[in-house]
Structure 1
Amino acid sequence: MTKKIFSHQIWHALCLLILFIGVSKSIENYPSILNGSLFGYSTYTWLIISMLSPIVHQLYVLFCWRSELYYKYLSKNYGKNAFIYYKKIFTVLILSRPIFILLLSISNSNSLYIWPVFYWAIIILLLIPGIYSQYSVAKYFGYDRAFGIDHFEPEIYNKIPLVNEGIFKYTSNGMYVYAFFLIWLPGIIFESQAGILLALFHHLYIWVHYYFTELPDIRYIYGKQ
């Protein structure tokens, strides 16, 4: 069972190690990344939590997707409610990512100065495509599909064409290219070095998930599509 579930995951682990090293070196070179505290907890604590959040989320998705896709493990144990149960935990984990980056950014606020003209320009440039991508996911792609229902019902979804409307007209992966712009906003708004660093960590790490978990699964489910 584990062979198919952990296929390509040695590359996942290697990329994660590189990201850890990058964060560590950034802190060494810019110690003000760890300035501040919030609710009695240091910025370092919030930073660690903000790093663990996407790791727990993506490992959860890896296990659920692959165990269901190849072995119907969740359906065998939870029946027709398998996707519902999976989706509830997924929702908590995906929401934890921006929440913890927000708390980290508040903890480390004002550790970076951004000129006002650039401050507002960056916010607008991140906000517009980020919101449009979320709208496109809701209208054209569907949140169930974004959560990975095709892993639970591959025999249905492998007959449905891939989406090419909304943001998906410009990129086949609007969620990871543009929706993740929103996770940068807390770091920019609160002018937080730590918030920006962890936004970069999250954004790069979602691509690790894409290339070494999601893309192989897409090829398995959709074939030549």
Structure 2
Amino acid sequence: MSQQRSPDDGKNTFPQAASKWATPNGAIWINRSPCHHLNDAARSIEAVAMTSAQPADRLALAYIFERQWLHLLLLLMLLGGLGPAVRADAFRVGALFGLATPVWMALAVILAITHQGYVWFCWRMELHASLLTRCFGDRAFPLYASGFAILVLSRLTTVVVLAAANRNTVPLDVSALRILAVVTAVPVVYLFYSVQRYFTFRRALGLDHFDSSYRSRPLVNQGIFRFTRNGMYVFGLLIAWLPGLWYASAAGLLLALFNHAYVWVHYVATERPDMKRIYPGLAGTPPPAA
């Protein structure tokens, strides 16, 4: 006697489940079914973006794009200020590896925007839709972290190369500038020590967007974080100034100013709102419901 097979027999099927992610303004129900194909990933993004389906979808979309209008506005202002400055001769002198200083400047700015756009997309899609976890499971954070590392190292590399290409364009004593670079490096080293010892680099990369257990963990107040909650922004970003100081590069210092300001844009427009939801105590709101 033959056994009748249903149309789904022999296919990979997964139980459908839903979980509730609560916010201070209400609850969002999100489909938690695994995503094993790129087409499924595209459908997951589309489901989040369909604002006409359910009020919860519109709320999720609002959270994903929260304050990104401010991000775009401040970025345009920074680019508007950067454009006229790079036309000055001091910022155009030099070349390295066959590319002129303005080309390295353009590459550095493109990498900065790409890097911060990547972080926004991954953080918000994971925090409000669990997209990466649904697509990649336990590999979600390592894959995100790998992309982050590639982009941030590329970003730092272009800063160094730009400064080397544009060296000796600051009309100050090079030895004095290098002493200043060494002094500036001290809090940077202490910051990375504090991150490794007390904070962990995984958390610094945004693990709290992937792991809900961080909502009940206290903020770190040891090491350099005794002096400021924003150690990465106050002291960590000083690393961007070191190549410009070391090589006495006008373009390198200008790029450092852009990077420093633009990372603060990321903090105001993306990280700060996220932290208020991950750590409700920052916003003075009760913890999310289970």
| Bin of the TM-score, shorter chain as denominator length | over 0.9
Q: Which residue of 2 aligns with 1:21?
A: 80
* Secondary structure, counterpart of 1:224 in structure 2: helix
After superposition, give the CA deviation of every residue in 1:86-112 in whole Å (9 maximum; x if it has no partner): 111111111112111001111111111
Partner of 2:264: 207
Measured in 2, the distance between the counterparts of 1:181 and 1:217 equals 24
Greater share of helix residues, 1 or 2?
Answer: 1
Instruction: Indicate if the aligned counterparts of 2:86 and 2:102 stay in contact, CA closer than 8 A.
Output: no
Within the alignment, does 1:93 sit opposite 2:151 as a pair? Answer: yes
Select which of 187, 208, 212 maps to 2:244: 187
Q: What residue identity is the alignment partner of 2:95? A: S
Partner of 1:175: 232
| Aligned length in residues | 223
Residues of 2 paired with 1:103 and 1:74: CA distance?
33
Shift of 1:52: 1.0
- Of 168, 187, 199, which residue of structure 2 is paired with 1:141? 199
- 2:185 corresponds in structure 1 to 127
- Whole-Å separation in 1 of the counterparts to 2:84 and 2:197: 41
1:5 equivalenced with 2:64 (yes/no): yes
Tell me, what secondary structure is at the counterpart of 2:220? coil
Considering only aligned residues, what root-mean-square deviation do their CA atoms show, in Å? Answer: 1.2
Do structure 1's residue 58 and structure 2's residue 155 form an aligned pair? no
Range with bigger deviation, 106-115 or 169-178: 106-115
Correspondent of 2:101 among 43, 49, 71: 43
AA of the residue aligned to 2:270? T
Cα gap change, 1:43/1:117 in structure 2, threshold over 3 Å: closer, same or farther? closer
Residue in structure 1 matching 2:218, options 155, 161, 167: 161
Instruction: Give distance in 2, aligned partners of 1:116 and 1:84.
Output: 41
Deviations 1:115-162 (CA, angstroms, capped at 9, x unpaired): 2563244113311011111111111110010010100012x0011100
Q: TM-score, normalised by structure 2?
A: 0.75
Name which of 133, 138, 151 aligns with 1:75.
133
Q: Work out the CA distance in 2 between the residues paired with 1:110 and 1:136.
A: 34
Structure 2 CA distance for aligned equivalents of residues 70 and 137 of structure 1 = 26
Q: Higher Cα Rg: structure 1 or 2? A: 2
Which segment is superposed worse, 31-40 or 119-128? 119-128
Report the Cα distance in structure 2 between the residues aligned to 1:85 and 1:31, rounded to whole angstroms.
Answer: 42
In structure 1, distance between residues paired with 2:100 and 2:267:
32
What is the TM-score normalised by the length of structure 1?
0.95
Match of 1:113 in 2: 171
Q: Give the distance between the partners of 1:132 and 1:51, measured in 2 at CA.
A: 27
CA distance in 2: counterparts of 1:63 and 1:214, whole angstroms: 12
**For 1:157-197, what per-residue CA distance to the aligned partner results, in whole angstroms no more than 9, with x for missing partners?**
01110000011000111111101111111111111111110
CA deviation profile, 1:28-55 (whole Å, cap 9, x unmatched): 3x32201111111111110001111111
Shift of 1:27: 2.1
Task: Say which structure, 1 or 2, has more relative contact order (CA 8 Å, 6+ apart).
Answer: 1
Partner SS for 1:197: helix
The structure-2 alpha-carbon separation of the partners of 1:146 and 1:19, relative to structure 1 and needing over 3 Å to count, comes to same
